[in-house]
Structure 1
Amino acid sequence: MDLGLKKRIVLVTGGSKGIGKEIARAFVEEGAQVAIAARGLSALEETSNALGGIPFYQGDLTIKAERERIFQKLIDDFGTIDVLVNNVGGSNGSSVEETDLEQFEQAMALNYYSTLHFSKMALEVMKKRQRGAILNITSIFGRESGGKVSYNNSKAAVISFTKALADEAIPYGVRVNGIAPGAILHPTGNWQKRLEADPEGIKAYVKREIPAGRFGKPEEVANVAVFLASEKASWVTGATLQVDGGQSRANF
């Protein structure tokens, strides 16, 4: 299916590996002009080469000035932005009692404030053109307990922000949506490390917690991302879609 994304300018944060890399790949395969941003130079270079030499921007996305520099470089290079995918993120800490305040602040800076800031910058450009799509990659644990508390809190904030921004942006032709993945297995992710450390325990977890009976794949998230960014999803805004093989216990 042609999703009408040819030549669209796309920025994927956290696009050097895992889910972000596959999202970038999916947009490239649709004919979009894709750039990726992340902290690690070697992973950025590897992904850029794997995807045909796409542009990349290195920087610490928890830092306001770095986000502004990267976004301005994208505009300088491409002139505009059509699709923003806020994918950068991570988890830290453990229980509330055992997680330092600084770790909560770090989680919010990485998962929430980066999404908030990039979205504000992109919306300013998109409003002028009366079109655009912003996608926020969250988690099923933004809706329910199950992951690390600092991660849950920050992803819950992103889900709430997605709906709030969507209602503000849609009068200008800009759609804002989210994707809430469940457990996704990829070589650089936490689930891979846990699987290697405790194969039988993780196999039991999958059987017990995921009705589909397996981990999700990054490309299964990417397929939803390109759909939501396309005009095929023209009447979808403010939604956060679960992509989890039935893992979430939420019924709304």
Structure 2
Amino acid sequence: MDLNMKNKVVLITGGSKGIGFEIAKSFLEEGARVAIVARGKEALSEAKARLGDILTIQADLLNEQERANTVEEVVHHFGTIDVLINNVGGSNGSTADETTMDIFREALELNYFSAVHFSKLVLPILKAKQAGAIINISSVFGRESGGKITYNNAKAAMISFTKALADEVIKDGIRVNSVAPGSILHPSGNWQRRLEENPEKINQFVKDEIPAGRFGTPEEVANVVLFLASEKASWISGATINVDGGQSKSH
């Protein structure tokens, strides 16, 4: 299937490893021009070595100015932006009672406010061409309990933001959607670490909680992101699509 992504400029936050890396790889395979931004210099170098013709940007995405600088650098290098993938994220804290307010704020800044800010930064570019797509990587735990409370809260906010922004900008030719992965296994992720620490417990979790009977892969998430960014998804706006092998309890 030709997704008409050739020469489209795609910016992916948190794109150096895991799901973000596979999203970058999938767009490159479709002929897109790809920029990834992440904090870790070593991971960016490894991604560059594996992916080849890609723009890598090192930035702390908790910092507003560095987000703005990132968008400026992508536009300076490629001339425009067609697709934004808000993928950067992370889990912190513990219970609500034991988690400080600073940790709650940091979780929102990384998982949610970064997506809001990057979206606002690229909107003038997309509105000028009356075309484009923004895809937010949320989580099934943005719809129900299961992960850490700070992460759940931020991902729930992201799902709400996706629908609100989508309704606002669809008239400008811009589609905003979200993907909600379930438990995805990759070398740099939490599930890999937990699996190594306690394989019996984690294998039981998979058996009990994931109807498909296995973890998902980053490639399976990337495939859905690629579709949503393409013209084949022209009538999908404001949606959050579960990619979870049936894990989510929500309808």
**TM-score when normalising by structure 1:** 0.99
**Equivalent residues in 2 for 1:1-252 (5 A)?**
1-251=1-251
Displacement of 1:123 = 1.1
Tell me the CA shift for residue 240 of structure 1: 0.5
Instruction: Give the residue type in structure 2 aligned to 1:79.
Output: G
Q: Deviations over 1:114-145 (max 9, x none)?
A: 00000011111100000000000000000000
Moved runs in structure 1, 4+ residues, more than 3 A?
none
Cα distance in structure 2, aligned partners of 1:135 and 1:160: 13
Question: Structure 1 regions of 5+ residues with no counterpart?
Answer: none
Q: For 2:168 and 2:57, how far apart are their aligned partners in 1? A: 29
Alpha-carbon distance between aligned partners in 1 of 2:20 and 2:176, rounded to the nearest angstrom = 18
Q: Name the amino acid aligned to 1:165.
A: L
Identity across the alignment (%): 63
| Gap runs ≥5 in structure 2 | none
In structure 2, distance between residues paired with 1:55 and 1:8: 14
How far apart in 1 are the matches of 2:148 and 2:68? 29
In structure 1, what is the Cα distance between the partners aligned to 2:206 and 2:124?
42
Shift of 1:53: 3.3
Deviation per CA, 1:128-172: give whole Å up to 9, x if none: 000000000000000000000000000000000000000111000
SS of the aligned residue for 2:85 comes to strand
